[in-house]
Structure 1
Amino acid sequence: MTVATALTLMGCQQTLQVESVLGAQRRGPPLTYTNPLPISTERGRIETCADPDIIRGQTPGDTDWYLYCTTDPHSGNDRDASGNLIFHPISMARSRDLVNWTYVGDALPDKPAWVRPDAGLWAPDVEYLNGRYHLYYTASETVAGGSAIGVATSDSPLGPWTDAGAPVVEPHPAPCCPDSRRWTFDPAVIQDDRGQKWIYYGSYFGGISVRRLSDDGLRSDPATQVQVASANRYEASNVFRHDGYYYLFVSSSDCCRGPLTGYSVFVGRSVEPGGPFLDRDGVDLNATYVGGTPVISMNGNRWVGPGHNAVFTDAAGQDWTVYHAIDRADPYLAEPGGINQRPALLDPLDWVDGWPTVRGGLWASDEPLPAPAAQAGDRDRTRTPKLRVDVPGKLLGAYSDEFTAPGLSPSWSWVRPPVAGMVNVENGALRFDTQNAELFEDRDDASVLLRPAPQGDYVVETRLTLNLPPEGCCFNYSQAGLVVYGDDDRYVKLAQVSIFETRQLEFGKEVAAGAPGFPRYGNTVLSAGAPTIWLRLARRLDGAEEQYTASSSRDGQHWTRGGTWTHALGGSARIGLVSLGGAGFTARFDYLRVYDLKQNHDLK
């Protein structure tokens, strides 16, 4: 036997031994995970990883996975010798199995010269382009003034990173306002089938746009800029290719209101990178009544505010999304009202009739689930669950009103009766003019029309027409809709509302004043509204908690579920109608119908 043959046989034997060990590991107890993802450091676990992004190693032999987080302290105890919180400029972590992560350093410890020294570095997006890793990030303030998108490159997913020396997307005005500074936030980069690179960016002030990128990925062309999502609705873009479409994932509402955070992810799709991006109902994400099909929102468990997601595919071909969320029982890193604790969560992304939804519509998980297939040979053990939702059962006539009588029935009562002529029953509907009044925190001067609610589980529904202008700004925050009312400081409200140039469906929750620093009002939003819209609130008892789930329909037949707020309104809570936020408009309610809750039916 020659030396070369012996070495070859020894190499084969070692390979077989390694494969045998890996096979034994795969044949052992299947790996599971439970949210949030654990990220270990020498000083303990990282408790927050907002705006997360994941990429797999792209060079030969590197099959590890890499996780990047927005700039934040790692925990409430992450402090320097003076007791000040330490901010890590884009934390990086590595994992072999996509479950157990180890912190390996900060990507940009020294800010580039064009970034203001006190700026934040947010929302990383790491792409492998032209044989190098590109780290795109938000600079919240530049030396020149305004926010911008930067980019740094490296041969390794862990750096060292070399900044390009100038923004890839420069500070510039919002489309609405020539002398403004747009929120140039949250980059997302893709390369299409023709090799053209694109960068998506933007936030509430200015909306979301896309531009063409240069071949090297370091510069964008302002002349190619196209608006793809409305201002004052979306941020945190992420684009993913699936079955011939570009899917634009975007987040909406306030990311950071502690236990009342209603941040949620929506999606639209297009056959071209430049849009238009339409939702499942064919509504444009640029429309006045803004489109967007829900991907994930609150589901009633401990997680609220799930958002700013990134989508990736594991080694077995299953799609996943990583995102941040807030534990409503543990929402802050340190003092109440300070930095929100937003750990990274991971869940399977399922495709139902061509549309993405997290866990088949069950949304954020809080129990052990099969882990992703992180390495070649790992099996896909995920299963799309069957989504069952609450729908109306038997009509409860004693609690309902078709508004066919000459006036309001005695079952109705007012909190603060309106002025004469503001409300009337006419032509088979209740007319309720919007008021220059509010039901918001310490301003409680709006008239609220209420009637008793059934005990136990129920669904309340109405058909609403609100004559907001079809285009234009600003009619903030004129609105009308449903309310389940405990008192002025304890309620949930589902309303069609004007927000700057948009018309949206807002689902809000207010709580009584509590500990200093905690919020009192939070909101999420639903899919697209319309001048005439059907609204539902389903109330379900879950132990000591009440769960309220909002749904809407543009035709009264096909319903889209939104988020779930938990509350404690009690058995004396009443159901009713509101029309407030600014005078000058008229709401027409065709009926108020109450049903018992029919359990476990598919949402069509």
Structure 2
Amino acid sequence: MRQLVIGALLLASTVVTSPPAQAAAPATGPASSTPATYSNPVSGDAVRTFPDPAMIRGKDGLWYAYGTTNPIDGKNEHILPMLTSADMVHWTYAGDVYTGEDHPSWWPNGARPWAPDIRYVNGNYHLTYSLSTSGVGLATSPHPTGPWTDRGRIVPAGGSGCPTNNIDQAVYTDVNGDNYLYWGSYDTICVAKMNADATEVTGEVTQIGRGRRMEGGFVVRRDDWYYLFYSDAGCCDGAFSGYTVKVGRSDNPLGPFTTPTGVDLMDLTSKDGIVLAANGNGWVGPGHNAIQTDLSGQDWLVYHAIPSSAPEFGPVTTTWGTTIANLARRPLMIDRLDWIDGWPVVRAGAGPSTGEQPAPVTTWSVGSTFNSGTDGWKGPWKPASDPDSLGHLTGKGSTSELSDETVQGDVRVEADLRLGEGGSAAGLFVTRENGARNITAWLDREQGALVVTTKVNGKTTTASSPLPASFDYGSWHNVAAERRGNALVVSVSADRLGDPLATVATTLPGGAPTSGAIGVTTRGAADADNVGAAPLYTPVTERVADPVLGERLTAYSDEFDGTGTPTAWARVRNPSATLSNGSLVWPTQNAELFQGTNTASILLRDAPQGDFAVETKLTFDGTRGNQQAGLLLYENDDRWLKLTHTVLPLNQGNGAVLHQTEFGKEGPRPGATPPTAVANAPMFGGPAARTTWLRLLYHYDEENGEHDVRMASSTDGTHWIWGGSWSLPRTGPVRIGLISMNTAGATATFDYLRTYEVTSR
């Protein structure tokens, strides 16, 4: 199982405290110290599986995660299980949203709700969940773990207007306060506006994405772009799960969304924009993501993945008494999400992590949740409490509450704020040196705006951004300020989930304080909670380098010169390929290499020893479902890896077909009960064109006895999109092959087959 290796990339901080902060350890809330490291899966000590995770930071200062209905203990099924954590690393089981005896009466018999999404809307937590053909449900609660109140369906059973299953939903709130629901699966993602309370879909349904098994849409807004994260290929097929997280972006929440190479997510081809893919280190099928931000401002991808060493449970009995065989184990994972050149990618492109990694920052250098009092703070504000936030501060008049300790340098400061009756503004001191030198971010009811003021010796500089007309000043909102040098970015959101309701980006004037206390202030009545500062994260700005190919190995290559039958290749089942005009021309055939159906013809030749890369330039004119042609690394008919241009039907597409760069494998299925001799599954890479360049990068993992193979593709032969890796237990050497198969009527034209040494991988 090959592990990509990258050098040290970060992290230097410039926040200091003088003297060190001594905030009281809260009874509940962030841990008293941030773990130095973590190892995936982070749910390992709490539950054995936690698919389709969603995560939120509660107003009590804890993190909460929600998962699909599953046997989280390996035996008994739990309906929408919940976890809680003080540090995003150590999790505790916190109950289930529903039970088999206590659930909405309108659910159909045998319902297994999945893919929860969590949001904070006007003082309540909104949990949406999927019921497939029975629609999308909503439950609300004033606390992250309930008790939950059933709000019925927000997407009706049957005809929602989206030609797909009604699953994998996620809510997004835009800067103008409009709410949107994204949902869909099995090849199509849709979006529609919701009502002001985010309790019902009311707008026209718009299709925004089409792709093989495209699902799990999740939208965030960053730098005026809307990013639609999604997963494609198979989510939950044990060691044969090809799930991959990809992304497109748009300047409108309704799309169109395009990939880094400009491919519209509605185009009938596979897509680039790979955020996370299997890398051969023992995790397969990483996907169905959410996003969380730590206290330093660093984003984290929250997702599930499958351990290839123990990919499946045995038969499991559901809440309703039915049996599910070979249910995949999908524990909770987190990894650093980097934004490089305007696009998100996990760990700079290194993929899922294994072993110890730098942990999320979950403790402030200065700050408190106020769940255990107000030690470390000075001012007239009083302690108060409620069931949602637990301990918090309340202030009246024109008053301020300040930290005893100070911060300086690059810093992230945040607070949860809300206005009381008659309150006109609540503010966060980003830095307060004294009354004449301070930087303050205000939720200003009178101006209807997020207002940032910088005072320098009697002169005030102001920048602002309007808040939505529907903004509820009486419910908690998070105000977060990030200072890097003299650049300041302040945003306000309900739930810290990448959906800012207003953002102010400004350059601080000369003389602005660079050190001082943090705190909160008010004009009128206001409450404050979770006030703190941490060193601002250091962004990663360069991707992990792509593999580098070395010298061409001519003994293992073919330019396809000459005419007639290619003589340098072994022929399996008499392929009808011929040489013509410097190419190998091969019509597709009605034959397969699928599990027990091994009828397709193959051209084979020996592969070199050690690491190598094999490449071909393929022109393919397929138009009918399942026609395919491309590369093969072959042990035998039931043990192989292939990379093809494949034509696949679009579900609910009225006959439309998708052109996919399909990376598949076939081999023994570990862990299946009863044992399964052989299984077959794909993942998908970048877009396929009429002429597509295909590469397979081979490595023999001697320690684990596996073939590790990574795919890449190109539509111009110069710019390559490197995708995920498959691993396959080795019983013998692979040979290099070509195929053109599955459905007759198309022609594959191979310009060459070239094999290279690998300089770096």
Tell me: CA distance 1:335–1:459, structure 2 relative to 1, closer, same or farther (3 Å).
same
Quote how far apart the aligned CAs of 1:552 are: 0.5
Give the fraction of aligned pairs with identical amino acids, expressed as a percent: 42
Quote how far apart the aligned CAs of 1:26 are: 9.5
Structure with a larger share of its residues in helix: 1
What SS does structure 2 have at the residue aligned with 1:555? coil
User: Map of 1:491-506 to 2, 5 A cutoff?
Assistant: 491-500=640-649, 501-506=657-662
User: Map of 1:23-34 to 2, 5 A cutoff?
Assistant: 31-34=36-39
Structure with a larger share of its residues in strand: 2
2:735 equivalent to 1:574: yes
Tell me: CA distance 1:272–1:517, structure 2 relative to 1, closer, same or farther (3 Å).
farther
Match of 1:489 in 2: 638
Match of 1:472 in 2: none
Aligned residue among 295, 315, 319 for 1:315: 295
Tell me: CA distance 1:358–1:404, structure 2 relative to 1, closer, same or farther (3 Å).
same
Match of 1:394 in 2: 551
Deviations 1:377-407 (A, max 9, x none): 3546777486133232101111111112223
In 1, the alpha carbon distance for the partners of 2:548 and 2:609 equals 17
Deviations 1:64-93 (A, max 9, x none): 1111111111122x3xxxxxxx32111111
8 Å CA contact 2:297–2:537 kept in 1: the answer is no
Gaps spanning 5+ residues in structure 2: where? 1-19, 317-324, 366-533, 650-656
Range that drifts further, 567-576 or 532-541: 567-576
Tell me: CA distance 1:444–1:20, structure 2 relative to 1, closer, same or farther (3 Å).
closer
Range that drifts further, 330-339 or 271-280: 330-339
What SS does structure 1 have at the residue aligned with 2:127? strand
Tell me: CA distance 1:217–1:392, structure 2 relative to 1, closer, same or farther (3 Å).
same
Tell me: CA distance 1:426–1:64, structure 2 relative to 1, closer, same or farther (3 Å).
same
Match of 2:195 in 1: 214
8 Å CA contact 1:127–1:189 kept in 2: the answer is yes
User: Map of 1:42-441 to 2, 5 A cutoff?
Assistant: 45-58=46-59, 62-76=60-74, 78=75, 86-109=76-99, 110-140=102-132, 146-165=133-152, 167-173=153-159, 182-204=164-186, 207-221=188-202, 223-230=203-210, 232-335=212-315, 337-377=325-365, 378-379=534-535, 384=540, 387-418=544-575, 422-441=576-595
What SS does structure 2 have at the residue aligned with 1:90? strand
What SS does structure 1 have at the residue aligned with 2:547? strand
Quote how far apart the aligned CAs of 1:522 are: 2.1
Range that drifts further, 570-579 or 532-541: 570-579
In 2, the alpha carbon distance for the partners of 1:576 and 1:410 equals 14
Tell me: CA distance 1:114–1:233, structure 2 relative to 1, closer, same or farther (3 Å).
same
8 Å CA contact 1:370–1:381 kept in 2: the answer is no
Aligned residue among 435, 446, 459 for 2:613: 459
Tell me: CA distance 1:456–1:232, structure 2 relative to 1, closer, same or farther (3 Å).
closer
What SS does structure 2 have at the residue aligned with 1:534? strand
User: Map of 1:543-582 to 2, 5 A cutoff?
Assistant: 543=702, 544-569=705-730, 572-582=733-743
Range that drifts further, 290-299 or 428-437: 290-299
Tell me: CA distance 1:89–1:568, structure 2 relative to 1, closer, same or farther (3 Å).
closer
Tell me: CA distance 1:350–1:553, structure 2 relative to 1, closer, same or farther (3 Å).
same
**Which residue identity lines up with residue 588 of structure 1 in the other structure?**
T
**Which residue identity lines up with residue 719 of structure 2 in the other structure?**
H
Tell me: CA distance 1:541–1:320, structure 2 relative to 1, closer, same or farther (3 Å).
same
Give the alignment's TM-score, normalised by structure 2: 0.69
In 1, the alpha carbon distance for the partners of 2:220 and 2:675 equals 38
Range that drifts further, 511-520 or 188-197: 511-520
Tell me: CA distance 1:175–1:444, structure 2 relative to 1, closer, same or farther (3 Å).
farther
RMSD, matched Cα:
2.4
**Which residue identity lines up with residue 119 of structure 1 in the other structure?**
A
8 Å CA contact 2:248–2:258 kept in 1: the answer is yes
Match of 2:527 in 1: none
**Which residue identity lines up with residue 495 of structure 1 in the other structure?**
T
Quote how far apart the aligned CAs of 1:512 are: 4.2
Instruction: Report the structure number with the largest CA radius of gyration.
Output: 2
In 2, the alpha carbon distance for the partners of 1:368 and 1:430 equals 48
Greater relative contact order: 1 or 2 (C-alpha under 8 angstroms, separation 6 or more)? 2
Quote how far apart the aligned CAs of 1:423 are: 2.1
Quote how far apart the aligned CAs of 1:468 are: 2.0
